[in-house]
Amino acid sequence: MGNVNYADLAKSIDSLTSGESDQVALMATVACEVHHADDRFDWTGFYRVVEPDLMKIGPYQGGHGCLVIPFSRGVCGAAARSGETQLVADVNAFDGHIACASSTQSELVIPVYDRAGELIGVFDIDSDQPGAFTQADADALSAILKSTFG
């Protein structure tokens, strides 16, 4: 567990996305590269802010996700609402967790901001293993998201 070489992953994403400004293209590339970087990552993708307090599914890898997530619900909603990364070792203990997939045991959700500092969505990684994510994962992925979208 936790054997992602984040320096290599960041370099790979940077070279693939260099010069690209389209957010959907960037999200698709990040979701794909991160998803395939580690077998802990069972579902990897973005929920995009489409109107005040509402997100809809964006590019992702894995089984189907929820199509719509209000800011008021779930781990993704908490990340969007608070602007803070959510590192959840046991989703069943998270009040208001939305089970988009019954296999999900732990979750990492990171708010994503554009160059203007506006929240454009959240980056969500689910794992079918409990306690799959560390603060090191959160920090490294936050840096990649900031460099790609900010």
In a domain, 71, yes or no: yes
> Could you give the number of structural domains in the chain?
1
Distance CA 140, CA 138 (A): 6
Domain CATH for 91: 3.30.450.40
Is 75 within 8 Å of 108 (Cβ atoms)? no
Q: Indicate the helix (H) or strand (E) that contains 90.
A: none
Parent domain of 134: 6-149
Is 50 within 8 Å of 44 (Cβ atoms)? no
Q: State residue 2's pLDDT score.
A: 59
In a domain, 31, yes or no: yes
Per-residue pLDDT tens, the chain, 150 aa: give them. 557 999 999 999 999 999 999 999 999 999 999 999 999 999 999 999 999 999 999 999 999 889 999 999 999 999 999 999 999 999 989 888 877 778 899 999 999 999 999 999 999 999 999 999 999 999 999 999 999 999
Q: State residue 97's pLDDT score.
A: 80
Is 77 within 8 Å of 106 (Cβ atoms)? no
In a domain, 54, yes or no: yes
In a domain, 38, yes or no: yes
Q: State residue 3's pLDDT score.
A: 77
In a domain, 1, yes or no: no
